Structure 1
């Protein structure tokens, strides 16, 4: 949370808090940047936390309250405690040490499953929700943290399974509101669809579900294609009408859909958002766009349904034209994976030739899926892969040696190691690898040994 502090007009090292002037805690440090002279800066703290802006001329300072700076916040200690716990009850004490917001899923050899939200959650005073900066005069301070026992949890649900996929999974009546930055529920909804259709769920089923690239938004888009479209949209409409909405890497329909959707998003944005606000409202959620198209209203003009059909048709035509431009003149050769390519680059490679030479790009290959599929793949503006499910694991609880995993691009961070990128190809293929557990299996599977000499 951000707090706006009023500075004393005579002494800018004091701020108003709960009816009196208080003095910042201060510390001076010397910075020695490369190629520049050392300089001394003053670090300040208010009762809320570190001061990130100090402007005596405006009599204003800004302080930051963050859970990572609360007493006892240590993810390292929390993970050590979690790993030492023997059962669900024993985990509760470890959970109290875990500062970052986390969905924690649990299963044990006795058949119990559970879920709990972890993390330091502030008690905000004055009805403040944390969404905007608040006056730092004490009315909206944090009043400690919520006990972890008061955070949402589920133990042994009747359905027999639990899932989370970055969706809003807080109970609807839960107070206080803990977070707002959830993703749309497409991936979770697909998990529900699959799980409810399976009387039993195996390790193989878990692997298949993690690799699932069926897109609910794609299916809903296809249902909006008009029976009659202009000539420019006929080919795209014909390709998509019988498509199942699976964003497979080798799918031509998936490529046309993604290109058409990108065009449609921009069209809806230009229609609905006034020009002067477009900088501040750069995008819509997919669900909002689909809801508008499925139930068109006056925002689309005096003939909403007619406008909707025309918008969809124009997007289809634009998608087809863009596919021809980017993928060539032969639709039989179009592939979603050609556009949705995965290349891993060091984040500093563009700024440092030395880093770029030491960490060359890893060409992983064309991927299926997008940000709406269980097998998550976020999109860049050019539709290449920006990120997604880089680590996957399917654990056989009790039969630990049968567990499977993938870790993109490999198990080593050293580009000279043979294990630096040896999981890139299995990852793009969805081919899970053994995650062995017992000493006996580790000895069998070991490819080498690394000895650490503290001397």
Structure 2
């Protein structure tokens, strides 16, 4: 598997790059199946026969497996519930535009200016952030992709009936895709975050946009200096990549919860250690253990907090998506993502309470004072780490 283009590169006149866009370009339609005519579904008042084809997958050292792919006007069938005579079809806004998208990626490498480059961006149907810079000092950004023009009232987080009422009106024009050219800020920063305020996010429950995001670390550093040298720009990447975001997000909450404890209290000692830490995650030469205790403290505390709050509020089997702290314990190495985990993003809004722009309709603390839950998770942290490493916090 390989791309026939350079994802990050330049042609001597312009340079380009990309990150995952994570826009909402997929919907699920619930097709009503016919009980009398197998393979038929109801659409616009008529029973329509599904398309079907046979696919065979060869298995190494095993027998090949053949199965039937069923398709409706909305897309391929993912799952069928015979008890309710319902089949769930996945509609993809880029369906049928794969080759055109591949060519757009290839041809954008030949562009000589913003206009030529955006002409290719308009043909790229996958949800991807594209970045542009040229030798004249111009910079630009486009949230590329094809996105559906939904019916009014369509909640894309849930399946909608496939009988015709909720069919897409078409695709939104490229002019509506978020984009910017030579912004007043003088820079463009992104870490798979939302391309603009109130932009519809993907309905993937394992990925969320919100106020807690690594891009804020980039913004913070760039806003400190109006201009950067090439080496300083590399330093921004190095620092933001290693910065433990959970420290900035949750340290005020931890400090508030332990402010009334004596300095000899192990829970206070854990937080004091975090307070003295600069938040930079650095590995030892073995590539598996951290140079500082802050990483493991936050890992264990956040794991306990999530178990006591978000995970407890989410029913199985979806709870597992919200239990990860975002990094593994020090002895196992940083095998997890060092971005903010989806559970931590939700927890961050919860600890903000009324200060959060997102109304907290669910009490994740289950009626308990927030401070009580924070301290209980710190107690869990002390018990876990003292058994593992002894009583010396440092």
Per the normalisation by structure 1, the TM-score is 0.62
1:210 aligned residue (237, 257, 262) = 237
2:388 alignment counterpart: 326
1:92 aligns with 2:118: yes
Offset of residue 5 of structure 1? 1.8
Measured in 2, the distance between the counterparts of 1:209 and 1:39 equals 50
Measured in 2, the distance between the counterparts of 1:142 and 1:262 equals 41
1:28-427 matches, within 5 Å, as: 28=54, 41-53=67-79, 58-71=84-97, 73-172=99-198, 177=200, 179-180=202-203, 181-184=207-210, 185-212=212-239, 213-224=242-253, 225=255, 226-229=258-261, 231-249=265-283, 250-269=291-310, 273=312, 277=315, 279-282=317-320, 283=322, 285-295=343-353, 300=365, 307-327=369-389, 331-332=393-394
Instruction: Classify 1:18/1:255 alpha carbon distance in 2 versus 1 (closer, same or farther; 3 Å).
Output: same
Measured in 1, the distance between the counterparts of 2:221 and 2:32 equals 55
Measured in 2, the distance between the counterparts of 1:82 and 1:199 equals 30
Unaligned runs of 5+ in 1: 333-455
Larger Cα Rg: Structure 1 or Structure 2?
1
| 3-state SS, counterpart of residue 186 of structure 1 | coil
| 3-state SS, counterpart of residue 190 of structure 2 | coil
Instruction: Classify 1:9/1:325 alpha carbon distance in 2 versus 1 (closer, same or farther; 3 Å).
Output: same
Offset of residue 277 of structure 1? 3.7
| 3-state SS, counterpart of residue 4 of structure 1 | strand
Measured in 2, the distance between the counterparts of 1:327 and 1:233 equals 15
Offset of residue 33 of structure 1? 5.6
For the 8 Å contact 1:122–1:145, the answer to whether it is kept is yes
Offset of residue 133 of structure 1? 1.4
Offset of residue 210 of structure 1? 1.3
Measured in 1, the distance between the counterparts of 2:55 and 2:306 equals 49
Measured in 2, the distance between the counterparts of 1:263 and 1:144 equals 46
Offset of residue 107 of structure 1? 0.8
Instruction: Classify 1:57/1:148 alpha carbon distance in 2 versus 1 (closer, same or farther; 3 Å).
Output: same
For the 8 Å contact 1:73–1:99, the answer to whether it is kept is no
CA RMSD of aligned residues (A): 3.3
Measured in 1, the distance between the counterparts of 2:302 and 2:81 equals 46
Unaligned runs of 5+ in 2: 1-26, 284-290, 323-341, 355-359
Instruction: Classify 1:94/1:295 alpha carbon distance in 2 versus 1 (closer, same or farther; 3 Å).
Output: closer
Offset of residue 190 of structure 1? 1.1
For the 8 Å contact 2:56–2:65, the answer to whether it is kept is yes
Offset of residue 154 of structure 1? 0.8
| 3-state SS, counterpart of residue 52 of structure 1 | strand
| 3-state SS, counterpart of residue 16 of structure 1 | strand
Offset of residue 130 of structure 1? 2.5
| 3-state SS, counterpart of residue 169 of structure 2 | strand
For the 8 Å contact 1:96–1:147, the answer to whether it is kept is no
Q: Give per-residue Cα distances to partners, 1:164-200, cap 9 Å, x unaligned.
A: 112222233x6xx363544444211111111110121
**Structure with larger RCO (C-alpha < 8 A, sep 6+):** 2
